[in-house]
Amino acid sequence: MTEDTLKKEIIRLKKEKNAVILGHYYQRHEIQEISDYIGDSLALAQQAQEATADIIVFCGVHFMAETAKILNPSRKVLLPDMEASCSLAESCKAEDFAPFKAAHPDHIVISYVNCSAEIKALSDLICTSGNAEKLVRSLPEDQKIIFAPDKNLGGYINRVTGRNMLLWNGVCTVHDAMQAEAILNLKVSHPDAKVIAHPECNAALLEVADFVGSTKAMLNYIKASPSQKFIVATETGILYEMQRENPDKEFITLRDNKSCACDDCAYMKLNTLDKLYNCLKTEQPEILMSPEIIEAAKRPIVRMLEMSKQLGILK
Ligand code: 13P
Ligand code: SF4
C-alpha cells in the first residue's frame, strides 16, 4: 500500500472500531500527522485517562502504553510494536530496585514515568520531565527522596532545587550521548541561536543550554521567544511539531555538524504506519496486565496527576 492508502485505511479502521490514536512528539512524522492527539508523556497520560474510545492505540513506547492501561483499564490498549521499550525503563529492574529501596526506609521514592509498571508499583509518586521540578519543590525540604531511574533528570532537579535526592544510576542512552562539545561547535557557526535541551541530557550539555525543559516546555519556549534560530538537543521527532508551529523559525540539530547521528530514539522509531495499520486491523499487540499490578502502579500516577492539577501544571 502507498503511504496515502495506508493513512486512509488507518482512519477508516479507527472510525469503524471507535479507536483513538495517541502519538508522542518523538514518533515518525507520518504517525504524528494522523494521530488524534500528539503530546508529551504528561499530556498523553491525561488524554489516556480521559479517553472514552473503546480502543487506545498508543504510538509511543511501552511504558507510555502501560501507563494508559493503568489509568484506563477498561479500554483495550494497543502498541504497534511491543519491542518499543526505553533504555531508562530497561536500566531499572524491580529485582534490583526493591532491595535498594529497602536499604533506605526513611526515603520516599519518586520515579520518572519512564519506568516499568513494577517500578511504579514500588514508588510513592511518579513524575514526568514536564512536572518533576515543581513536584519536588512542593515536598517538605527535609523529605529524603530516592529518584529513579534517570540520574541526569534527577541530577538536574537536584541542582535547580538545591536538594540532595539519592539517584538511581540510569540514563536515556539517546540524550546522554549528546555532547556539549558538539553544541558548542554548532554555536560557533550559529552564534545567534538559542540552545534548548531536554533534561535527560548529561550535566555538561545542560550547562551550555539557554533553556532546559520537557518536549512541551521546549515548544512553549520557542513560540514565546523572539529568537529565530534554535539548536535542539533532543530527539529529532520533535522537529515536526516545532516546524509546524513555527514555520518561519530555523532548527539546527546535532546531526547538522555531522558530529552525531545519535539523536533518533530507535525505540520510538520502531512504530511505523504499516505496524499501526496492522495493529488496528488485528487489535494486536495488546497491553495486558494483572489487576494487582494495575492497582499498585495506579496510586502514584494518580497522585502525580492530582498534584499537577493543584500546582497548575495540568487543567
Ligand atoms: P517527555 O516527558 O518530554 O514527553 O519525554 C519523554 C521521553 O521519553 C523523553 O526521552
Ligand atoms: Fe526512552 Fe530515551 Fe527513547 Fe525517551 S528518547 S523513550 S527516554 S530511550
pLDDT digits (tens, 9 = 90+) for 125-167: 999 999 999 999 999 999 999 999 999 999 999 999 999 999 9
* pLDDT confidence of residue 259: 56
Pick the atom of ligand 1 nearest to 215's CA: 3
Q: Which residue's CA is the nearest one to ligand 2's atom 6?
A: 86
Sheet holding 194-197, edge to edge: 211-212, 194-197, 229-233, 250-253
Q: Which numbered ligand comes closest to the C-alpha of 197?
A: 1
Higher pLDDT, 42 or 257: 42
Contact by Cβ (8 Å): 188, 273: no
The pTM (predicted TM-score) of the whole model is 0.94
Extract the C-alpha cell encoding 70. 493503568
Burial of 137 by CB count in 10 Å (0-12 exposed, 13-18 middle, 19+ buried)? middle
Sequence-ordered list of residues with C-beta below 8 angstroms from that of 80, at least 6 positions apart, any chain: 57, 59, 270, 271, 272, 275, 276, 278, 279, 285
Residue 302: pLDDT above 90?
A: yes
* pLDDT confidence of residue 307: 95
Q: How confident is the model at residue 260 (pLDDT cuts 50, 70, 90)?
A: low
| CA separation for the pair 224, 310 (Å, rounded) | 25
Q: Which of 6, 60, 83 is nearest to 285 (CA)?
A: 83
Q: Mapping DSSP to helix (H, G, I), strand (E, B) and coil, where does residue 101 land?
A: helix
Residue 262: pLDDT above 80?
A: no
Q: Position of cell 495506508?
A: 6
Say yes or no: CB of residue 267 within 6 Å of ligand 2.
yes
164-212 residue pLDDT tens: 999 999 999 999 999 999 999 999 999 999 999 999 999 999 999 999 9
95: number of CA atoms within 13 Å, CB side?
A: 1
Percent of the chain with pLDDT over 90: 93
Q: Which residue's CA is the nearest one to ligand 2's atom 1?
A: 86
Q: Beta partners for 286?
A: 78
